[in-house]
């Protein structure tokens, strides 16, 4: 399973990349706005930090304008992955980019049928937003399960499931159990995956006992 970082915060991405756990990065216009940085410069810097796919989202609404923006973004670095919204124009742009061998992440997915359309359009990734579904009382992880089953029913569909809008370690555990291909995690959620009080308590006891031996290893 691949771990992406869902962030436009360069320092947070760098810190996590240093752990060796980061396979890619996803951004969106809201995260870019929050960073206060110039979009293209930011994407270039993230692409330098992380060799894996870095999703950069187009903001045009019609397919031709999306493709024009995609070309600008693709010129930034080899590992740019174009992110498009799940609209008919987005799917049209996806088909065109996929035919050119470019990776597309189709975002804002909230239903299994949308995921099926994105896969038929040749998307490299589909991004179902589990947290936002949970927020409205729907079953975010149920959607991941449905998409997994549908994609597995049709092996010619090569789109990877990129679980997005992840809010908790429980989301991550459930996504991994279902067999999602990728999860994109806010930095704080990725960091929280390691936490367990018994690990802390056990380490504390081991170190205290070791001290009693008076030995050192190196
Ligand atoms: C990822 O590609 C999405 O932009 C992101 O996960 C959305 O998360 P949010 O629902 O917490 O904004």
- pLDDT tens column, 142-177: 999 999 999 999 999 999 999 999 999 999 999 999
Distance 106 CA to ligand 1 centre (A): 12
Model pLDDT for residues 174-211, shown as the tens digit of each residue: 999 999 999 999 999 999 999 999 999 999 999 999 99
Contact 44, 7 (CB under 8 A): no
Q: What is the pLDDT of residue 65?
A: 98
pLDDT in tens, 88-140: 999 999 999 999 999 999 999 999 999 999 999 999 999 999 999 999 999 99
Please, what is the average pLDDT of the chain? 98
pLDDT (0 to 100) of residue 206: 98
**pLDDT, position 152:** 98
Which residues constitute the domain of residue 207? 2-213
Is 218 a member of any domain?
no
Please count the other Cβ atoms lying within 10 Å of the Cβ belonging to residue 128. 30
Q: What is the CATH number of the domain that holds 186?
A: 3.20.20.70
Residue 46 lies in a domain: yes
Q: Is 83 annotated as catalytic? A: yes
165 lines ligand 1 (CB under 6 A): yes
- Give domain status of residue 121, yes or no: yes
Query: Which of 14, 34, 83, 103 is the catalytic position?
Result: 83
Structural domains counted in the chain = 1
Ligand 1 site, residue 27, Cβ cutoff 6 A: no
Does residue 45's CB lie within 6 angstroms of at least one atom of ligand 1? no
What percentage of the chain has pLDDT greater than the value 90?
100
């Amino acid at each position: 399973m691949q771990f992406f970082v869902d962030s436009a915060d360069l320092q947070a991405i760098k810190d996590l990349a240093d752990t060796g756990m980061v396979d890619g990065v996803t951004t969106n216009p809201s995260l870019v706005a929050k960073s206060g940085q110039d979009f293209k410069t930011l994407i270039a810097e993230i692409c330098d930090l992380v060799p894996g796919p870095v999703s950069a989202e187009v903001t045009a609404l019609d397919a031709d304008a999306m493709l024009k923006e995609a070309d600008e973004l693709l010129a930034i670095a080899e590992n740019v992955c174009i992110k498009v919204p799940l609209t008919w124009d987005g799917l049209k742009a996806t088909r065109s980019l996929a035919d050119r061998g470019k990776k597309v992440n189709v975002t804002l997915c909230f239903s299994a049928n949308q995921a099926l359309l994105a896969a038929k359009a040749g998307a490299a990734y589909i991004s179902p937003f589990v947290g936002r579904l949970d927020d409205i009382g729907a079953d975010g992880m149920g959607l991941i399960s449905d998409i997994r089953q549908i994609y597995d029913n049709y092996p010619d569909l090569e789109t990877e499931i990129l679980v997005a809008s992840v809010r908790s370690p429980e989301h991550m555990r459930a996504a991994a159990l279902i067999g999602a291909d990728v999860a994109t995690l806010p930095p704080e959620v990725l960091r929280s995956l390691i936490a367990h009080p018994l690990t802390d308590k056990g380490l504390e006891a081991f170190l205290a006992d070791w001290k009693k031996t008076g030995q050192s290893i190196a």
